[in-house]
Structure 1
């Protein structure tokens, strides 16, 4: 299941939990694309809970929407990814290197407050780095 909310004009939150098939993925991506309309210099919070690999149909639904999805993603400056799965956090940060206009930082699921601080532009969100310029 994937839920998409828009808590403010330039913020979109996405929560992924459990399995995704083609219909669920297509619907969620359409909602995410729609929620990004009118966003400028946006921020996105992407939380991944109880991760299960999406079905091949779900990957297909994403590929079909890739041009519109990329246009939507380019409306955002920052994306915080929350997950307890280490390789997903690493993959998200690599994606941030591939999309130069989007700064992606990953956090463990329990670090929601740090992710919110980072999205707000308050440092890098890590308490241990607060003493450094």
Structure 2
């Protein structure tokens, strides 16, 4: 399951759970692109539970949209990643260290309040 919502004008939330099919990936990424069009210096809450690698069709869908997705990075300043998998939290923070001007902080699923606070203030 991949669900994209926009709870606030300058915030987008992504929920990813289990294995994502190519149809789910296409809809989710199209939703992300559409909902992010007017975001400026935005924040993102990315919740990942029961992660399973997407099928090959879903990866192809993502690769086809990669140029547009990379263009989104300039619209966001900060992303909080909530996950039940320690390795995903570590990977997210490494990715954040590699992307200039885009802060990523990872939290355990039980730390949602701290993630929300960090998105609003920059401190957990």
Query: How does the TM-score come out when normalised to structure 1?
Result: 0.89
Aligned equivalent of 2:3: 3
2:85 maps to 1:85: yes
Which has the larger Rg? 1
Return the alpha-carbon distance in structure 1 between the equivalents of residues 67 and 98 of structure 2.
16
* 1:68 Cα offset (Å): 0.5
2:48 maps to 1:48: yes
Return the alpha-carbon distance in structure 1 between the equivalents of residues 22 and 104 of structure 2.
26
Return the alpha-carbon distance in structure 2 between the equivalents of residues 91 and 46 of structure 1.
13
Distance change (3 Å), C-alpha of 1:122 and 1:63: closer
SS of 1:45 mapped into structure 2: strand
Aligned equivalent of 1:101: 101
- Where do residues 20-99 of structure 1 align in structure 2 (5 Å cutoff)? 20-99=20-99
2:28 maps to 1:17: no
* 1:73 Cα offset (Å): 2.5
Deviations 1:61-108 (A, max 9, x none): 111100100111220000000001111111111111221121000000
Count of matched residue positions in the alignment of Structure 1 and Structure 2: 124
Gaps of 5+ in 1: 126-133
Aligned equivalent of 1:128: none
* 1:122 Cα offset (Å): 4.8
Gaps of 5+ in 2: none
Query: How does the TM-score come out when normalised to structure 2?
Result: 0.96
Q: For structure 1, which segment, 95-104 or 6-15, has the greater mean C-alpha deviation from structure 2 after superposition?
A: 95-104
SS of 1:39 mapped into structure 2: coil
Q: Which runs of 4+ in 1 moved over 3 A?
A: none
Q: Which structure features the higher share of helix residues?
A: 2
Return the alpha-carbon distance in structure 2 between the equivalents of residues 60 and 107 of structure 1.
29
